[in-house]
């Protein structure tokens, strides 16, 4: 029988965390009001430190309020429970300790029967490591995850929480940034979008923005020109970026309308940039999970520099929508998806069924608790989808050629 439940959010923010925390609290209050709920502060860090919020009657009564806010009320952190060296360095576990055991012992000490993890592939693979450890050592605890990532790249989950909102918010961000297109003649705008190894968010953001352009009314007679406001290039990691060919195409756009706007995935061209930096003897910074710290290599600036020269741009504006988009409150689509997944998450937890909740693409898109061992990150964006090909055709960009996709560690 479930008596006590713990929640945690981890990894980078996405526009679903606050809503999901509230939805889980609401669902437990509705179907199992006697279950005690705590929420670990700052993700797995709070779990290791034994730092948590207690969900009081006041929080239960007002949990719906959380859906109106972005971020995470309980805080996040980037902690990998199998990276003992990093955790010792950060003072989160003592030297020689097994972080998985520290976490398991803390859960037992706190009397937790169910742990809900809300995070991306790193969070849920960490949850899988913890679940496997618990099972191996006969800890009686159920772990149920929810898939949070604006990259929408969790295998085998059809749609991750927060991704749709992030695309919507990225398009909103672009509306204001692209208004700068004629603040100078021959302006190059590079809109860098989050999405590490997956181009889904960049493509979806570009589609949202392009659809807005097509649906809007313009007045070219006074300079309010649809083509100048449109997106002119979309570059994702899954497709080859032919700089010379694209520069030639975009040069014609620059000559015609006096500006060029590119939507660029932060993971596009990373291998080339890293190779260039390492050839200069520079060290490329990585996080606890081994991922390249993209903010330190600045893909947008690199592409901006390459294209500015080839397009004859007199001004280059590189803008990143990532933090604006990922910290927004959930939109209506995501609220419905979050509610649906949270209901099943609670039902699964009460039934003792572990896994990550999602529409399982390998099981006919059934919404179910997907086995932890089947959860992986790095699902590539399908560049052959009709909507993406239509987007590229609509902006005059050739159909994409698939790129080799080495992992960005």
Render 92-161 in DSSP notation, one character per residue: SS-TT--HHHHHHHHHHHTT-SEEEEEE-HHHHHHHHHHHHHHHHTT---EEEEEEB-TT---BTBSS-B
Q: Answer yes or no: is pLDDT of 336 > 90.
A: yes
pLDDT at 162: 97
The average pLDDT across 333-361 equals 97
Could you tell me how far CA 133 lies from the centroid of its own chain?
Answer: 27
In whole numbers, what is the pLDDT of the chain averaged over residues?
92
- Model-level pTM? 0.92
Q: Answer yes or no: is pLDDT of 207 > 90.
A: yes
Nearest to 260 by CA among 225, 219, 230, 220: 230
Q: Please give the domain boundaries of the chain with CATH numbers for all domains.
A: 4-160+330-374 (3.40.50.450), 164-326+382-394 (3.40.50.460)
pLDDT digits (tens, 9 = 90+) for 380-389: 999 999 999 9
Q: Answer yes or no: is pLDDT of 393 > 90.
A: yes
Nearest to 13 by CA among 123, 129, 153: 123
Render 17-61 in DSSP notation, one character per residue: HHHHHHHHHHHHHHH-TTSEEEEETTTHHHHHHT-EEE--HHHHH
Catalytic residue selected from 113, 121, 122, 151: 151
pLDDT digits (tens, 9 = 90+) for 81-139: 889 999 999 999 999 999 999 999 999 999 999 999 999 877 877 887 887 888 888 88
The verdict on whether 151 is a catalytic residue reads yes
């Amino acid at each position: 029988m479930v008596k006590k439940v713990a929640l945690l959010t981890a990894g980078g923010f996405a526009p679903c965390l606050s809503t999901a925390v509230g939805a889980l609290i609401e669902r437990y209050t509705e179907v199992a009001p006697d279950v005690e709920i705590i929420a670990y502060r700052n993700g797995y860090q709070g779990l290791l430190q034994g730092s948590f919020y207690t969900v009081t009657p006041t929080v239960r009564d007002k949990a719906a309020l959380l859906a109106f806010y972005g971020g995470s009320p309980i805080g996040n952190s980037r902690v990998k429970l199998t990276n003992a060296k990093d955790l010792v360095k950060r003072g989160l576990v003592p030297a020689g300790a097994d972080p998985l055991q520290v976490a398991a012992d803390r859960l037992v000490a706190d009397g937790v029967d169910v742990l809900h993890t809300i995070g991306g592939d790193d969070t849920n693979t960490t949850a899988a490591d913890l679940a496997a450890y618990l099972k191996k050592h006969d800890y009686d605890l159920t772990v149920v995850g929810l898939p949070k990532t604006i990259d929408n790249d969790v295998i085998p989950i059809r749609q991750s929480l927060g991704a749709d909102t992030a695309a919507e918010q990225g398009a909103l961000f672009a509306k204001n940034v692209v208004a700068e297109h004629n603040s100078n003649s021959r302006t190059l705008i590079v809109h860098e979008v989050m999405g590490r190894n997956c181009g889904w968010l960049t493509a979806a953001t570009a589609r949202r923005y392009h659809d807005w352009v097509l649906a809007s009314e313009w007045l070219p007679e006074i300079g309010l020109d649809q083509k100048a406001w449109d997106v002119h290039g979309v570059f994702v990691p899954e497709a080859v970026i032919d700089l010379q060919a694209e520069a030639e195409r975009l040069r014609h756009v620059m000559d015609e309308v006096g500006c060029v706007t590119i939507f660029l995935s932060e993971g596009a061209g990373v291998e080339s940039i890293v190779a260039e930096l390492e050839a200069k003897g520079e060290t490329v910074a990585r996080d606890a999970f081994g991922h390249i710290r993209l903010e330190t290599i600045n893909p947008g600036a690199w592409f901006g520099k390459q294209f500015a020269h080839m397009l004859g741009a007199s001004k280059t504006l590189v803008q990143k929508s990532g933090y604006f988009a990922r910290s927004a409150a959930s939109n209506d689509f995501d609220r419905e998806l979050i509610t649906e997944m949270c209901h099943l998450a609670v039902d699964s937890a009460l039934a003792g069924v572990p896994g990550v909740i999602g529409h399982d693409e390998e099981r006919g898109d059934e919404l179910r608790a997907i086995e932890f061992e089947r959860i992986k990150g790095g699902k590539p964006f399908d560049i052959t989808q009709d909507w993406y090909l239509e987007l590229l055709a609509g902006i005059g960009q050739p159909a994409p050629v698939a790129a080799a996709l080495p992992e960005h560690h």
